[in-house]
Amino acid sequence: MRASAYPLIDAAEASALVLERTPVLGVERVALADANGRVLAEDVVATGPLPAFPSSAVDGYAIRFADAGTTLRVLGESAAGRPFDGSVTEGTAARILTGGAVPDGADTVVMVEDTRLDGNRVKVPTDLVAGSNFHRVGADVTAGETVLRAGTQLGAAEIGIAAATGHAQLAVCRRPRVALMSTGDELVEVGKTPGPGQIPDSNRWALLAALREAGADVEVMGIAPDEAEALRSFVTLALRNADVLVTSGGVSVGTHDLVKPLLESIGTVHIGRVKLKPGKPFTFATLEGGKVAFGLPGFPVSSLVTFEVFVRPALRKMQGFAQLQRPTLPVRLGYDARPTAERTEYQRVTLRREGRELVAETTGSQSSSRLLSLAGAHALVQVPAGDMTLKAGTIVEAMILGLP
Amino acid sequence: MRASAYPLIDAAEASALVLERTPVLGVERVALADANGRVLAEDVVATGPLPAFPSSAVDGYAIRFADAGTTLRVLGESAAGRPFDGSVTEGTAARILTGGAVPDGADTVVMVEDTRLDGNRVKVPTDLVAGSNFHRVGADVTAGETVLRAGTQLGAAEIGIAAATGHAQLAVCRRPRVALMSTGDELVEVGKTPGPGQIPDSNRWALLAALREAGADVEVMGIAPDEAEALRSFVTLALRNADVLVTSGGVSVGTHDLVKPLLESIGTVHIGRVKLKPGKPFTFATLEGGKVAFGLPGFPVSSLVTFEVFVRPALRKMQGFAQLQRPTLPVRLGYDARPTAERTEYQRVTLRREGRELVAETTGSQSSSRLLSLAGAHALVQVPAGDMTLKAGTIVEAMILGLP
């Protein structure tokens, strides 16, 4: 047993290094039903205008503006999908329903509420606005217009636009395939009764949720064996189909910590220790074939905080996201945030509104084993290394996990 | 063709009415792997303390504080999952690894960096803190403590806590099963070439994404037939396995709009028109067996805005969420938000940071057919009915869809 040989790297430097070494994945085509949350790999261009035809915004009558204030003969009906195939001429009108095509000859639609029908003759008011109550060809989108740009994250509206412009499939960045495993002799499957010195393997389920939330396609590999050769076989198998390896535990300096030596032997370990609290033993390696490996610490809070700081941005880079980091907002500290001498600390806070401000309160003991410090947390507050307490009342930029 | 017989209901009143008539669904047990995003239906209680045994926070030596400054004989090792089965007595120490159980007799752990090993004898420093470097039994969670409350949304940390306290399955509220269909003769499947007066059915794919994002389990039913009896059979079939029916289109007042009459015949229509822009024709009905139906307007923006205002909160109520509405934040308007005389308007805006403030800019033309007004929108700004423009510079509470 010895002190770690890995240099302690500054947290911001480590973050930049991880992103620099993480590749963007390839492109695939997906159906609209599978496009939610994905990132466009190519611009989406409208081949024709939207609307493609002049389309009524209301139920009423399609008329000539010149016929305002007169009584018109109703020639027929234009319903959505069932256009009227004649023309509206002087002294005539066509009944029109919302979404129906405005017939040739008509230049105005009058709402049914503003008319009086008698047999097949309709009285229209005098105070009309020419060209009103219908959507003109190309009013929303012109032919050839780029409606969505590569790099856009697809949500409901974006998928709707792609559909409306006739795209049944979209080119998106591939999702990272992640092999997830826990390491450590002390772990038992959740639900089994732990023996002396044993604990349930909770990190795997927490990380599974975090990985999926970040867009990863996860293969859950179980608890890795705690013996060098068996671990090597286990990891080799896991990496056959994965872009990313995520382990938790086994990256500290003890004699039974096997992850770092294994990563050294199958790739290059760029980061072995970080000036970060919690999360000092965080490990990052690049492997053959553009794959990357994240060795997360075994303490539950450390594994999730290093996930937030390093893994999530990397997974987002792989998927082509423009914004890799969590959004930040200014918050007023409701407590004294005490720093750690040599390490950047990410303190977990809840947020509440006070007037126009968000006020951050600590979630209590910030021990790296105490997951309750992260449960219900709305944000992470970065406290710089040093000896300067961020006093209650200070405004800081908080990493927003969720709004209250 | 006639003006609608349904009274125009105030938007806030309609919102309250929908929530009042929407049931909370039943409870089911899910495995941890399926728990992300779900809402706890029961409190989660720790049966034992966490940590369950005194557990080392570092790699080092477990010693008696009374032996500070002396040289100790190393008796053996306590690694994670492999506890030392002897006791530490005067003049002795046990090597200990992170996560290892602190042996009987030891009351302090000293970090390896602070020691000097010579053979099997270790020199420990004088300046020790009694009880340091290990996690005490029950320091994080005490036996019998409620670690998660019913109503909590489960994310990574909460799932981790449930796992750490030995719960392999959790009682959660059931997700709503939603049958989703589009109506309208004008619709063609996306990817097919629209005929005269036809448009691609884009709403279904946009709503599918929005529904899934809101936690629904969606059955995509396709385009419903535009004939009364065929529609009735189609909807009856859809409702066999669904808790919720969501349609888009066919709720305006035209002669071919069949959804409202159908809902009248199989249930009770509580809302047929709302003082809302976009989304005036929004329809809500309760059906047999505690089921509910949402008839969304056919215009793309109207369908998604009424989804946000009425359907999403209802789906969240069904799933047991405590917070039904989107979070709001104060934003400064960067434009003059002009109101509509009789209807509450939800204007779509992007947000950008300016100093400590969020500034809202309009997404351009707010036409109900123009989905580009919702693409990339960060928030909805509610503009009250009337004739008072909310001037640029005004601070308003915006419904946050996503932060910039």
Beta-bridge partner residues of B333: B360
Q: What is the CATH number of domain B328-400?
A: 2.40.340.10
Q: Which of the four pLDDT bands, split at 50, 70 and 90, describes residue A255?
A: low
Predicted local distance difference test score (pLDDT) of residue B226: 80
B326 vs B258, more confident: B326
Give the C-alpha separation, B209 to B324, whole Å.
Answer: 18
Predicted local distance difference test score (pLDDT) of residue A184: 87
B163: which chain A residues are within 8 Å (Cβ-Cβ)? 190, 200-202, 204-206
Predicted local distance difference test score (pLDDT) of residue A257: 75
Q: Which of the four pLDDT bands, split at 50, 70 and 90, describes residue A254?
A: low
Predicted local distance difference test score (pLDDT) of residue A250: 76
Q: What is the CATH number of domain B8-26+175-318?
A: 3.40.980.10
- Segment B391-398 shows an average pLDDT of 98
Q: Which of the four pLDDT bands, split at 50, 70 and 90, describes residue B300?
A: very high
Give the C-alpha separation, A278 to A301, whole Å.
Answer: 7
Mean pLDDT of the residues in chain B: 95
Task: Please tell me whether residue A316 adopts helix, strand or coil conformation.
Answer: helix
- The pLDDT tens digits of the residues spanning B373-387 come to 999 999 999 999 999
The CATH number of domain A8-26+174-318, selected from 3.40.980.10, 3.20.20.60, 3.90.25.10, 3.40.50.720: 3.40.980.10
Chain A stretch 272-291, residues whose beta carbon is closer than 8 A to a beta carbon of chain B: none
The CATH number of domain B28-49+140-173, selected from 2.60.130.10, 3.90.105.10, 3.50.50.60, 1.10.510.10: 3.90.105.10
Cα dihedral value B116, B121, B127, B133, nearest 10 = 90
CB atoms B51 and A369 under 8 Å: yes
- The pLDDT tens digits of the residues spanning A143-172 come to 999 999 999 999 999 999 999 999 999 999
Q: Is B350 on the interface with A (CB under 8 A)?
A: no
Give the C-alpha separation, A269 to B381, whole Å.
Answer: 49
Q: Which residue of A has its CA nearest to B325?
A: A404
Region of poorest pLDDT, from A121-130, A184-193, A253-262: A253-262
Q: Is A160 on the interface with B (CB under 8 A)?
A: yes
Q: Is A367 on the interface with B (CB under 8 A)?
A: yes
Per-residue pLDDT for A99 more than 70?
Answer: yes
Full DSSP string of B200-220:
E--HHHHHHHHHHHTT-EEEE
Beta-bridge partner residues of B42: none
Q: Is B336 on the interface with A (CB under 8 A)?
A: no
Predicted local distance difference test score (pLDDT) of residue A253: 57
Q: Does domain A55-135 have CATH number 2.170.190.11?
A: yes
A52: which chain B residues are within 8 Å (Cβ-Cβ)? 194, 199
Domain ranges of chain A: 8-26+174-318, 28-49+140-173, 55-135, 328-400
Q: Please name the residue that has the structure tokens 């405590």.
A: B322
Predicted local distance difference test score (pLDDT) of residue B255: 56
CB A294 within 8 A of CB A246: yes
- The pLDDT tens digits of the residues spanning A205-227 come to 999 999 999 999 999 999 998 88
Predicted local distance difference test score (pLDDT) of residue A226: 80
Predicted local distance difference test score (pLDDT) of residue B2: 59
B98: which chain A residues are within 8 Å (Cβ-Cβ)? 252, 254, 298
Maximum C-alpha span of chain B:
99
Predicted local distance difference test score (pLDDT) of residue B225: 85
Q: Which residue of B has its CA nearest to A153?
A: B376
- The pLDDT tens digits of the residues spanning B226-246 come to 888 999 999 999 999 999 999
